[in-house]
Amino acid sequence: MDAFISSLNLIIPAAIFAATPLIFTALGGLLSERAGVVNIGLEGLMVMGAFSGIVFTLIFESFGLGAASPWLALVVAMLIGAVFSLFHAVASITLRADQIVSGVALNFLAVGLSVFLVREFFGKGQTDYIQFPIYRTNIPLLADIPVIGGWFFSRIYATSIIALVFVVIVWYVVFKTPFGLRLRSVGEHPTAADTMGIKVNRMKYIAVMLSGAFGGMGGAVYAITTSGNFGGGTIAGQGFMALAALVFGKWNPFGVLGAALFFGLAQSLSITAQQIPALANVPQVYLLIAPYVLTILALAGFVGKAEGPKALGKAYEKGSR
């Protein structure tokens, strides 16, 4: 039993840690897709977030801001993510480009632009390492709870707590506020929303920019807590995994949380499984592909049917039926 608990001590914090960037990014995807705009560009938004997170941490460090640097950089990364998402918004909402194609282009652009800038600034393919990453902390009082305190509240990143808070906030906003109702109506039935006086395209712009902010946050959190620097390979598929979490979580914030934690678990197990007797013989590949296979099964309806907003992927044309 002790061995079991101590392996959980290892696995649970690792899963939460791996899930955190996915939660932020998938919440962003949720806001955008709830408003009817597919966001394949989450990966690119994470790339821009990771890039700005690292670059601005380095800049703030050079100003002598010390441990506050990564936190300020997170805010900047959110802003840059929101601005960068405008490419997707303008192309797919105003110019009625195919949302998927536009998202693909956004991913290309993010990698190209960020690595180009890194080469111009640093003269090499990746940035320097940051001096003040965000460290793990124990949460006072809660960390002292036996067993559970060890799993959830000790040696945890503050960013993980913030992610959990945002899950609740996004859930409240989307399902309990007039703004959320408008957002969802635009994604389900834009014509009806328009008739009721909701500015459809404005709502979509807001949603896409919010997804940019969250995606930027997700990328920056990953870069600041995990990689410590930025290069072309820093973000390699986390954005698409966030998209998977969004679908597997059935476009619901708590579903997304569960999916992200589960994917985080699979990810962390793929690294730590060697140390756990029961799992040491499972080929790593099964854990690596688990999130993707499960998402396909969920879409196919084998693990509870996942159905997106009705008007997802369609540009809204006033007066069309």
Q: Which is nearer to another protein, 151 or 205 (CB)?
A: 205
Q: Which is nearer to another protein, 197 or 283 (CB)?
A: 283
Distances (CA, A) of 82 to 54, 89, 167, 226, 293: 17, 10, 19, 22, 31
Q: Which is nearer to another protein, 76 or 315 (CB)?
A: 315
Q: Of the ranges 163-171, 200-208, 249-257, 298-306, which one interacts with another protein (CB under 8 A)?
A: 298-306
Interface with another protein includes 87 (CB under 8 A)? yes
Please state the φ and ψ torsions of residue 252, each to the nearest 5 degrees. Answer: -120, 135
Q: Which is nearer to another protein, 148 or 296 (CB)?
A: 296
Q: Of the ranges 6-14, 45-53, 203-211, 285-293, which one interacts with another protein (CB under 8 A)?
A: 285-293
Tell me which of 46, 247, 256, 311 binds another protein, using CB under 8 A: 247
Q: Which is nearer to another protein, 154 or 295 (CB)?
A: 295
Task: Yes or no: say if 45 and 106 are a contact pair by the CB < 8 Å rule.
Answer: yes
Tell me which of 102, 159, 211, 238 binds another protein, using CB under 8 A: 102
Interface with another protein includes 108 (CB under 8 A)? yes
Task: Yes or no: say if 70 and 242 are a contact pair by the CB < 8 Å rule.
Answer: no
**Cα 125 from chain centroid?**
24
Interface with another protein includes 199 (CB under 8 A)? no
- In the three-class reduction of DSSP (H, G, I as helix; E, B as strand; rest coil), residue 189 is classed as coil
Number of H-type helices and E-type strands within the chain: 13, 2
Amino acid identity of 159?
Answer: T
Contacts of 266 (CB under 8 A, 6+ apart): 287, 288, 290, 291
Cα–Cα dist 183/206, whole Å: 9
Interface with another protein includes 86 (CB under 8 A)? no
Interface with another protein includes 200 (CB under 8 A)? no
What is the DSSP-derived secondary structure letter of residue 133? Answer: P
Task: Yes or no: say if 82 and 212 are a contact pair by the CB < 8 Å rule.
Answer: yes
Sign of the torsion formed by the C-alpha atoms of 240, 246, 250 and 255: positive
Q: Of the ranges 10-18, 78-86, 161-169, 282-290, which one interacts with another protein (CB under 8 A)?
A: 282-290
Tell me which of 148, 196, 278, 296 binds another protein, using CB under 8 A: 296
Contact set with another protein (CB under 8 A) = 38, 40, 87, 90-91, 95-98, 100-102, 104-109, 111-113, 115-117, 119-120, 232-233, 236-237, 240-241, 243-244, 247, 283-285, 288-289, 292-293, 295-296, 299-301, 308
